[in-house]
Amino acid sequence: MTKIFTIQEANSLIPALEEVFRSIERRKDEVRNHVQKLSVLDLLWGTRVHEPANPDYRAYITHQRAIENEVSAIEGTIQEEIIRRGLRFPSGGLEHGLVDFPSTFEGRVVYLCWQNGEPELGFWHESDAGFQGRQPITEEHRLAMGKESDGGAFDL
């Protein structure tokens, strides 16, 4: 069963999602920082940086582990703060700050589509359309979306 969101319910989660994406961006910055340091070490030493006797070997390993830890933390944040809430994290979600809220419209499951930086939901798309298929939310949608399910959940 999947949670079905009304537009109002989805909009109420935007402040929390904005904080999630700020946290993810900080971690992505850390990854970029460590990748840059690894690149410098690679440039200085080439494949010799992988040798335990190399004076920068420990720094190299430290940066590799830091990247792994940050990536793991990002994955955990996505799982705990997005997926666990019943939201969909589509392809491109990490790069473009996208989140889909399962909803219903005219008896079918659709997605309310939000991109980090948008102050509220303004778009939706069919379940097979993706970001390119985004359509503006109209007053008709505001009145009907997510309200067709008695139990608040659908089988997807």
pLDDT one-digit tens code per residue, 10-26: 999 999 999 999 999 99
119-133 burial code (b ≥16 CB/10 A, e <16): eebebbbeeeebbee
Closest residue by Cα to residue 88 from 79, 96, 30:
79
Q: Which helix (H) or strand (E) holds 115?
A: strand 108-115
Specify the pLDDT at position 148. Answer: 65
Specify the pLDDT at position 6. Answer: 95
Note the pLDDT tens digit of each residue in 115-137. Answer: 999 999 999 999 999 888 999 99
Band the pLDDT of 1: cuts 50, 70, 90: low
Distance between CA atoms of residues 143 and 138, nearest Å: 9
Specify the pLDDT at position 149. Answer: 54
**Distances in whole angstroms, Cα of residue 3 to Cα of each of 17, 59, 143:** 17, 46, 18
